[in-house]
Amino acid sequence: MREITIQQRARPMTLEELYQIGRAHRERVATFRAEIHVCGSGGCRSAGSEKLLDAFRAACEKKKIASDVRIITTGCMGLCGQGPLVRILPRETLYAGVTPEKAERIVSSHIIREKPFRSLLLDADHPFYASQTPIVLRHMGRLDPESIEDYIAHGGYEALAKAVTYSAPEHVILEIRNSGLRGRGGGGYPTGLKWDIVRRGTSKSKYVVCNADEGDPGAFMDRALLEGNPHAILEGMAIAGYAVGAQQGYIYTRGEYPLAVERMRHAIREAERLPVIGNRIFESGFSFQVDLRIGAGAFVSGEETALLRSIEGKRGQPQPRPPYPSASGLWGEPTLVNNTETLANVPPIVLNGARWFSGMGTERSRGTKVISLAGNLRNTGLIEVPMGTSLRSIIFDIGGGVRENRAFKAVQTGGPSGGCIPSQHLDAAVDFESLAQVGSMMGSGGMIVMDDTACMVDVAAYFMAFCRDESCGKCIPCRVGTVQLYRILDRIRRGGATLQDLDILEELAVMVKDTSLCGLGRSAPNPVISILHYFRREFEDHITGRRCPAGVCLMDNESETAATAPLPAGTSPQTEGSVHE
């Protein structure tokens, strides 16, 4: 067996063979009477989608159509909040909240009688899907992440084959530069420019690193990509490797994503088997290998210098930049570090051209953004919208507005590095500049919507506790500053703070932001600063009124004073404050 594998790997594939594989797979799929796609991403699996597979198989068995129906597990279908989701072809229909008990009725209705099963049917023009522009997510939920043939049948690896066959590396970089693609991990650095810097590095060994160490609470974009379309990331990495002159790639992801690790490992094996990754890719002079590195779940290891130290087997601690990894990264060699979503954008850009990509989005932020929409919304899940879409449209059109008709209070973007945006800025556009203008940031694309039952002091304390625990401890402002910031916030939450504490809180937040070594510390105070800016009244209510307007925080020794204490002038009485008495 082993020799055959080596023999196979020795002979590179051709573009014609790639097309053949795709054609053969499409023809095979076309012979089926129907297809059942069961969402196998994290959200739907936790809602029991694994049992659905067996249920649908049993149902088809019973109806004696088992050999005519193709049943596969796919990546994320988007509307995670209403999972498990199932898509059935032909007459493409999406079913939500499917249970194993309903499998047989869906099969007999949709496939046998050719009538949709109405009670679980998701409208074809459901607002959640209506205003999305899937580019990175174009194949998500439509292909089997464990089948390379399925990816090839959807046009996979064509971009890589064409790039290494017909384009010089400089041209690939030019295309990426012209597309206006910017880093999707939060920094927003122009991708083409970064590639160019690594390309110019004179060293013989260079590296491409895919940063899939997604750590923001409430964010699951990278995870969904790794689980749902791992080959797109491999292809993007290989194109990047070709463009910058690297022969080795590393995917750095976290041990908390076991399914992503499993699917990625499988994808690498399959790509090496064909081979579309390995020696002399598509008969060119370009060779590229990819290995997986698994972190132990330290948030700071998503910071690129810490990530590289972790790959080297050292303690994941950031280092001062410059030198940037593009000049001196892994083992001191020029290293390209790109976010997962950035790399997944590469194959479609190479295939469709820079002009196609730059036609979407805004002047300075081109293309689309994948966002994980979470919080108290009617529709939550994974979405992709053009850059420049307003927060209002994302939250109220796609998200369907706040659940239980409660009032919208704030949307948290950018995770623990971002900020909270109140309702007066709902018309802000989602792009790198506009979100920074309203005191938040794009970050990696996490979005958490809060209604009026959320206490903003409590939210600030939550994010600060997260940063405190995730600080690496190297520099003093972040290591001790986050502890002190949290203590002050907690004191405010418990009603034991003074107005002087609020001044110290502000002063320390700015100091930690200005003096910390890496992005974690520099952005850790952002939630506090933005919440203080927009929701100062709530802090003052806690301190001088000793009450929590949202009724979340429990005041110390509340029975003695707080319950009956009159609110100071200028604050509005809120009845919810008495809930916890």
Partner 1 sequence: MNEIRTLTIDGQLISADASVTILEAAKEHNIHIPTLCHLEGLSDVGACRLCLVEIEGHNRLQPACVTRVEEGMVVRTTSSRLQKYRRMVLELLFSEGDHICSVCVANNACELQDLAYAAGMDHVRFDYLHSTHALDASHDRFVVDHHRCILCARCVRVCADVEGAHTWDIAGRGHTAHLVSDLAQDWGEARSCTSCGKCLLVCPTGALFAKGFVVSDPQNKQDFLRYIANTKSRKAWKDE
Residues that bind partner 1 (CB under 8 A): 298, 300, 315, 319-320, 468-484, 487, 504, 507-508, 511, 514-517
Give backbone dihedrals phi and psi of 49, rounded to 5 degrees, phi first: -75, -20
Residue pair 353/427 in contact by the 8 Å Cβ criterion: no
| Three-class SS state of 430 | coil
Question: What are the residues facing 74 on neighbouring strands?
Answer: 39
Pairwise CA distance, residues 438 & 428, whole Å: 8
Residue 520 contacts residue 303 (beta carbons within 8 Å): yes
Alpha carbon distances (Å) from 376 to 220, 289, 411, 452? 17, 43, 10, 10
Residue 542 Cβ vs partner 1, minimum distance, rounded to whole Å: 18
Cα–Cα distance measured from residue 40 to residue 37, given in angstroms and rounded to the nearest whole number: 9
Closer Cβ to partner 1, 177 or 474, answer by number: 474
Q: What is the DSSP string of 511-540?
A: HHHHH-SSHHHHHTTHHHHHHHHH-HHHHH
Separation of alpha carbons 363 and 111, rounded Å: 47
- To partner 1, the closest distance from the beta carbon of 321 in angstroms equals 10
Smallest distance, partner 1 to C-beta of residue 208, A: 25
Nearer to partner 1, 275 or 477 (CB): 477
**Residue with tokens 């750095």, as numbered in its chain:** 252
Among residues 179 and 301, whose Cβ is nearest to partner 1?
Answer: 301
Minimum CB separation of residue 226 from partner 1 in Å reads 25
Q: How many angstroms from the chain centroid is the CA of residue 116? A: 33
Partner residues linked to 384 by β-bridges: 370
Nearer to partner 1, 124 or 296 (CB): 296
Q: What is the largest CA-CA distance in the chain?
A: 83
CB nearer partner 1, residue 135 or residue 508: 508
Indicate the residue among 279 and 319 with the shorter CB distance to partner 1: 319
Q: How far is the CB of 305 from partner 1 (least distance, A)?
A: 11
Minimum distance between the CB of residue 335 and partner 1, rounded to whole angstroms?
18
Grouping H, G, I as helix, E, B as strand and the rest as coil, residue 217 is coil
Question: Which residue's CB is nearer to partner 1, number 392 or number 487?
Answer: 487
Beta-carbon contacts of residue 454 (< 8 Å; ≥ 6 apart): 376, 409, 410, 550, 552
Residue pair 302/213 in contact by the 8 Å Cβ criterion: yes
Given the complex with partner 1, which of 497 and 555 has the nearer CB atom? 497
Residue type, 361: G
Measured from the CB atom, the residue of 216 and 451 that comes closer to partner 1 is 216
Cβ contacts of 124 within 8 Å, gap of 6 or more = 93
Q: How far is the CB of 481 from partner 1 (least distance, A)?
A: 6
Q: Which amino acid is at 366?
A: R
Least spacing, CB of residue 294 vs partner 1, in Å: 18
CB of 328 to partner 1, least distance (A): 12
